[in-house]
Structures are given as structure tokens and as C-alpha cells.
Structure 1
Amino acid sequence: MTTQGETAKPSWQTRAVTALLQASGGRKLLGDPALVHAALEKRDRKVEEVRPPAFLNKAATATREDLGGWPVYRITPTTGPTDVTVVFLHGGGFFREIVRPHWSFVRDLAAAVPAECVVPIYPLVPHGHAAEMVATTAAILARTIEQRGSGKTVVMGNSAGGGLALAATQVLLEQGGPQPDRVVLISPWLDVTMTDPTLPALERDDPFHQIPGLLEIGRLYAGDLDPRDPRVSPLRGHIEGLPPLTVFCGTREMTVADTRTLARRAAAAGTPIDYHEGPALPHNYALMPSPEGRAARKVIVDACRAPHHVSAADPKPSPHNAGR
């Protein structure tokens, strides 16, 4: 993806989606841990079973199996057999359930690659904690790789799901287990300690997030583990030996502090990384119905089709990002 200068102005579509999401009040909620707990209690009073929405039926079939106590949906495009499987882990800060835009992304990805998509519905905080969530995700990923056999498997996640995807891959690496062919991270939350010194400045320009609420959610997610444990904060885990990485992040989100660190560490470790940093773009821009989002999704589709391909520029971030 070609990056532009820092003065680049986002498309009107990105600005409109950002304004709509801002109006939902998520940033205010994340400014106060007490509001986070109130939101969790409200969520738990109206829990409903998660099911793929009906609009998927036009392009794919959805089947369910339970693995490790989790519902896991397998989304198969109606176009026929594929040789690619994508394990997709949704975002939501570990406290919000999978939502319609995630399902839309899965539907479009399945049709475009084409790929079979495996979508685990993991437990949310305070009911789910990193130790069991990462272990179960790793087991689901390993099983998927073994079932795919000679085909290709990609693990992918956005936001909190991106952190979970990387942590599960690291666990498989440490255990000597099977590895996915590529890891795709979209605005991933990689370090719940929120200790990067650039975060206060980034927080002022982030339209969706604030540090106090994220710290509290990170504490809940860590459970009995130290928040610095790589299972909780995979930025602190092993990078050397990982499969090729494709990473997206915008400069108007706090997660960019950690994706820049990940890009530098991957380059130093010799781990191939295709790093895309969107100037003036917000959290999860790669999923937005915008020109920037469509460009990012084209890169994602290409990465899924040829997960072993690494261009000459992949092993290190572009000069635009290297000094950050």
C-alpha cells in the first residue's frame, strides 16, 4: 500500500464513519473505569446467543461446532471448495461482542479470496481471561491448520482480536506446534500495560479511546496473569520465527505506538512484515466502507491468496514509518 504524507486528509467516507462512531459515546466510557464496569453489567443483563446474521446466507453457508466450550462458526462461500482457511478473531476490546461489520468483513473476505472463514466466539471480560482464551484460540488454530492440510491457513484479527491472534501464534511457536502461513493484524491491541511513552500524545488525537478504561479492561483480561505476560500483551513475546506478518494501523489511534514497535522488532528479528500505516486514519480504518478501507482489504485478500509471498520491501517498515 502506498502511504501518503502526514498532511493527507481522510476521505469523506472515513470522516463520516468516524463521526458516527464518536457519537456512540465509546470514548467517554473509556475515560472512566466505573463507566466500563457499568457497561459490562448492562451488557450481561441482556446476553443473547451469537449467531451469524441472515445476510450471510446469500454468499455463504454457516455451520457451527463447539470447541473448548466456545461456539465456532465455519463460513464457507457458495462458490465451492477453497484451498485457504482464515481464522478470524473479532475486535471489541474483549468486552464487546462480534457485530455486523465484522460479519460483513468475513462474508466479503470469504467471497473475494475465496476462503473458508473460521470465526470463534470467545468469552468476554470479566468472564474470559487471557490464560484460557489464548490457549483455546491456539488449540482452534492448530486444529484448523491440521484440517486444512496442504492448503493455506491465515490467522487474522482486528483490535483486541489482533492481539489474541498474535498471542495464539506465539504459543504455537513456543510449543513447536503447526504455524499459520500468515498473520494479519488490523489495528491490533498488543500491550495492555499502555506504557509506551508516546501514548499520552496519541490519546489526545484518538477519537475512540482513552487510557483509563483500556487499562481497566486490560486488568480484567489479564486475570491472574501479570499484564506484562506475553499471553496478555503479545508485543512482549517472541517475534523471531513467526510467520510473515501483515499489519495495518492509522496514525490517529493509540495502537499505532505498539504496531511501530512490532514493525521495528520484526525487522530486527528477520521476521517478514508488510506494515501499512495510514496517515490521519483512525482505529480499524481497514474495515471501514471507505476508499482507504477498500485499498486495505485488497491487500488483505492478496495476502490470503498468497500468504507465503514476501516482497523485497516487506522485511522492514517503509522509510515513512521507520523512525517513529
Structure 2
Amino acid sequence: MGGRAALELIPEHMENKSARLLYIHGGAFVMGSPTGYAGFVAQLTNRASIHTVSVDYRLAPEHPFPAAVDDALGAYRELLDQGTPADSIVLAGDSAGGNLVLAALLSARQAGLAMPAGAVLMSPVTDLSMASESMASKNGIDPLFVPEALAGPFAEYLAGTDPRAELASPVHADFSGFPDLLIQVGTHELLLDDATRLAARAAAHDVNVTLEVEAGAPHVFQIGYETSQTAASALDRIALFIGRALEASAHRA
């Protein structure tokens, strides 16, 4: 997709065979792959009954900003070029992947491309300057990260780019014209305010935003679907959002 390898996941039953979910995986911009995320993304694929494409974007430090943004945009553009209507596409991503979903949509809008039906963001990274208050208030509460653990990968990705640049830190962007957004985040994570600030800014730009804040949940808690009913229920709500976004977009078209 867009010159990058990609993994396709196709559920056994699909009512809407033209619809596509474009998934952008997390990994702090420096790790992760579609293969490593296949089990998790398959959950979304099956629950939403949607043909999914997970793109293997380039990673830092070998390929710093904006390589990953270009790859995410390239995958979206190729879906359009293949004849998939924009209103039949939903983008989804977790953590750094959520950042790249937003950056790809900002780039798509700038390029004059049609917006997709919706976007799903799980614990998205939105401010690489790490200025969100929860970076301090949740330090010691987050069971996975301390700020120092994020600062290194973020610096490798930025490679000298201003961390306030919109495509690097989308929380500073203008979201006018964006599709419906679903944002899920836990209260026990450093990135809590990256999500809440994003929701407030998008809403200020007249975007339909659903923000779900899960009490006591860690970063990308949805990945614990095998043992956590909270995580499994969150994935079910994502699937419902995908279906509703596609239906609403089709009606608008």
C-alpha cells in the first residue's frame, strides 16, 4: 500500500464488501509491525466484519519524521486510487499509530483528498513536546511508562523537527472538516491528557467526537481483550462506531 508492505485481514462474513479499515499500529514510532499486531487487529476485523489493511510504515530512527506520515498517507491514497470510496473507509490506530492517523488525515485534507467515514484513536500520542499535564500527574500511576521512556523514542522520531509542528503533534492542528472521531483512553496513563486535549480541540472545530475515558485502565488497554471484559467491551464499541460511521457517511453521500 503506497509502496509499503501491508497485511490484509479478511473476515469470513462481510455485509459491506467494499468497506475498508486502514490500521496504523503503535510502537512509539520506533517499533512494531502489522504481523506483531495481527492478533489484535484481527479482533477489530472480526467484530466489525470489515476487510482490514494494516500498513508496515517506516520506523525511526532510520526513517524519522515525516516518513511514517508519508507512508500512512500513501496507504490511504492507494485505497482511494484502487476505487474504494472515501465514505467506505475508516482509519484506526493506537498510541503512535493514533498520531499517524491524525497526521495522515491532515495531510490528506491539505492534498485535497476526500475524508474517510471516521477514525478510531486508542490512547493516541498527540503532543510530542510532552506538555500534557498528565505526563506529570500520572507519573508513577502509569504501570507501563515513565516520561523518560517516551522522550527518547519521540526525539528519535522528530530528529530535530519542532515538536509543535502540526503533523508531529496534531493537538495543535485545525480539525475543521474532519470525520467523526472515537477516542478511547485510560485514566492510568501518561497520555490521558493527550487524548482529552485532542477531543476538546476537535470539538471546538465542529467535529463529532466521542471520548471514552476508562477508569483505572492503562495505555492501550484494549489489547488485553483475552482476559479483560473492559477491553473486550471497548473493542465491541469500536466495532459499533465503525459500522455507524460507515452507515452515516453513506447516507450523507
How much has 1:189 moved relative to structure 2? Answer: 1.0
Match of 2:42 in 1: 107
**CA 220–189 in structure 1, closer or farther in 2 if over 3 Å, else same:** same
Distance 2:20 2:140 in 1: 38
Q: Percent identity?
A: 24
Alignment of 1:186-265 (within 5 A): 186-265=122-201
Distance 1:86 1:170 in 2: 18
Match of 1:307 in 2: 245
Distance 1:203 1:283 in 2: 13
When the two structures are superposed, what TM-score results if normalisation uses the length of structure 2?
0.89
Q: Is the 8 A contact 1:82 1:114 kept in 2?
A: no
Q: Tell me which structure has the larger Cα radius of gyration.
A: 1
Distance 2:181 2:38 in 1: 23
How much has 1:112 moved relative to structure 2? Answer: 2.4
Q: Is the 8 A contact 2:121 2:182 kept in 1?
A: yes
How much has 1:179 moved relative to structure 2? Answer: 1.2
Distance 2:87 2:196 in 1: 31
State the Cα RMSD in Å.
2.0
Match of 2:21 in 1: 86
Distance 1:170 1:103 in 2: 26
Q: Is the 8 A contact 2:90 2:246 kept in 1?
A: no
Tell me, what secondary structure is at the counterpart of 1:130?
A: coil
How much has 1:149 moved relative to structure 2? Answer: 2.4
Instruction: Please tell me the residue identity of whatever aligns with 2:170.
Output: P
Specify which of 136, 142, 149 is matched with residue 71 of structure 2: 136
**Superimposed CA distance per residue, residues 164-210 of structure 1 (whole angstroms, 9 cap, x where no aligned partner):** 11111111112221211101000111111101234211122111111
When the two structures are superposed, what TM-score results if normalisation uses the length of structure 1?
0.70
Match of 1:181 in 2: 117
User: Does 2:231 align with 1:298?
Assistant: no
Q: Is the 8 A contact 2:121 2:181 kept in 1?
A: yes
Aligned residues: 244
Query: Unpaired segments of 5 or more residues in structure 2?
Result: 249-253
How much has 1:120 moved relative to structure 2? Answer: 0.6
How much has 1:276 moved relative to structure 2? Answer: 0.3
Specify which of 18, 25, 30 is matched with residue 95 of structure 1: 30
More deviation, 256-265/108-117 = 108-117
How much has 1:67 moved relative to structure 2? Answer: 3.1
